Chains A and B, each alone.
Chain A
């Protein structure tokens, strides 16, 4: 290994980032804050993918390809999520997720 770090360092970093993202997604009222927390979780996944790419299959680049696809889908997700948030804000005048009970019956 070139750097002398083993994969568990990066898995631990990514686990900590993922856990922070879950905490934000569970405990925030603002819908945009929940979107940001989902971005944190996706970033943690990307760290894992690139770390496994480096330590397991460095010459096939599969992990980096998957990280690029994750980034693409995350960009699309943020665009659509913000559009939905803006649409609901115009309908309801609120971005508090506890007010969003349109699909509750």
Chain B
């Protein structure tokens, strides 16, 4: 009985995720695309909850659906000044892209169907954060610090990029 409920939940969540992702890549208006991107990320957080990854789901909602999407909306507002209605057009490559991705999906599907899954029977521990924190601050201390430095350098670099080009544009 539990299986059929989780299967229904999985089908609904993947329907939400894939449908909104398709809307993201097909809609004409870029702002609508970004709003559907938020729906995709929240659906993905639901998939993470199904996989018993509470902390990753929370990070997904906070970072992706919150921060990243708002940042992208600000980028759209700064860049797209004229006619928002047709701000997300296809280029000439979309006819080539469709068969390429179709073939790729069929290949991945065949490989997935033929794979022999070796699953460990153990369940994920209930306390996710309490289990993640010692690993993140113990074994993965160096990558954790490198990620912090990476974020600092990336944000400083973004500031420098935008500021320098504006100064250059003012001079010319």
Contacts and interface: CB of A to CB of B under 8 A. Distances in A.
A12 B109 contact: yes
B169 A91 contact: yes
Interface string B97-113: 11011101100110011
Interface in A2-47: 2-13, 15-24, 26-30, 32-33, 35-37, 39-40, 43, 46-47
B169 A90 contact: yes
Contacts of A13: 10, 14, 17-18, 47
Nearest to A60: B135
Given A85-B79, A86-B162, A54 B71 contact: no
B161 A84 contact: yes
Tell me what chain A mostly uses at the interface: helix, strand, loop, or mixed.
helix
Contact of A50 (B51, B93, B136): B51
Interface in B6-38: 6-7, 10, 14, 17-18, 21-22, 24-25, 30, 33-34, 37
Interface string B45-67: 00110111101100110011001
Contacts of A4: 2-3, 6-7
B2 A75 contact: no
A43 B40 contact: yes
A45 B72 CA distance: 20
Given A13-B14, A59-B125, A85-B75, A71 B104 contact: no
Given A5-B10, A35-B72, A89-B79, A76 B21 contact: no
B63 A75 contact: yes
Interface in A30-80: 30, 32-33, 35-37, 39-40, 43, 46-47, 50-51, 53-62, 64-65, 67-69, 71-80
A69 B119 contact: no
Contact of A58 (B25, B44, B124): B124
Nearest to A3: B6
A57 B101 CA distance: 30
Interface string B117-152: 111111111001001100110001001000100110
Contacts of B59: 68, 71
Contact of A72 (B30, B90, B121, B150): B150
B131 A80 contact: no
A1 interface: yes
B143 A23 contact: no
